[in-house]
Amino acid sequence: MGIFDTVFLTPPRHCRNCGAEIDQVQTKAFEPGLREYEVGDMITGSPIVSGVIREDLYCPTCNETPQKVYFAIWHALLVGVCDDVDTAETRIRDVDRAELLDYLAQHQQNALQWHDRFSRLYGELQNLHDYEQRSKLGSDDAVRENPKFFRIREFVNSEDPLGALIAANKPVNPEDETEVAGEEESG
Ligand SMILES: [Zn+2]
């Protein structure tokens, strides 16, 4: 269906046609760029600053679009995904500062987590690269006993050090698992 964005539904909805659980909705209402949003995210390219946008909720189980969802947007911030327009409008009116702080705290936490994950991956890759460069020069055993390479010992002792390193850094949250699965399908 071309380029779209995905908005995750918390809590998930149930299809009015077949009853299946639906946990996300695809939309082209924003500036579509395969972005993933949840409540508390700033919408990139929102066509409105504040207001309600209606979207069809597609059910992948029965291939029908039996109901709508309503994005409640307040100053380009997604503050709710509602089942009717009145709830969405009320939601926009009721945004308070404590909620904004919660969104900020959540995003800061996520940023820290990604920073830690990237730092670990980068550090281990650099370490492995150093290890391989030195192995070319000297005896493999001497390099292996070097304490500098202690943190990647489990990798260099395996048959496929780079593969082991990649596996150890595999994303674990469901959102990333989807990305990993998607890459395997297309590749
Ligand atoms: Zn359905």
Per-residue confidence band for 183, with pLDDT thresholds at 50, 70 and 90: very low
- Measured in Å, residue 179 CA sits from the centre of ligand 1 at 24
- Measured in Å, residue 137 CA sits from the centre of ligand 1 at 62
Residue 69 burial (C-beta neighbours within 10 Å; 0-12, 13-18, 19+): buried
Q: What does the block give as tokens for 156?
A: 């260099």
Tens-place pLDDT, residues 147-169: 888 888 889 889 999 999 999 99
In this prediction, residues 86-102 reach a mean pLDDT of 96
Q: When comparing pLDDT for 146 and 184, which is higher?
A: 146
- Protein residues near ligand 1, an ion, with CB under 5 A: 15, 17-18, 20, 59, 61-62
Please report where in the chains the tokens 């600053």 appear, as a residue: 49
- Measured in Å, residue 19 CA sits from the centre of ligand 1 at 6
Tens-place pLDDT, residues 103-131: 999 999 999 999 999 999 999 999 999 99
Per-residue confidence band for 143, with pLDDT thresholds at 50, 70 and 90: confident
pLDDT at 185 exceeding the cut of 60: no
- Measured in Å, residue 117 CA sits from the centre of ligand 1 at 37
- Measured in Å, residue 120 CA sits from the centre of ligand 1 at 42
Q: Could you tell me if 148 and 130 are in contact, meaning their C-beta atoms sit under 8 angstroms apart? A: yes
Per-residue confidence band for 49, with pLDDT thresholds at 50, 70 and 90: very high
Q: Could you tell me if 23 and 9 are in contact, meaning their C-beta atoms sit under 8 angstroms apart? A: yes
Query: In the predicted model, what is the mean pLDDT of the chain?
Result: 89
Per-residue confidence band for 184, with pLDDT thresholds at 50, 70 and 90: very low
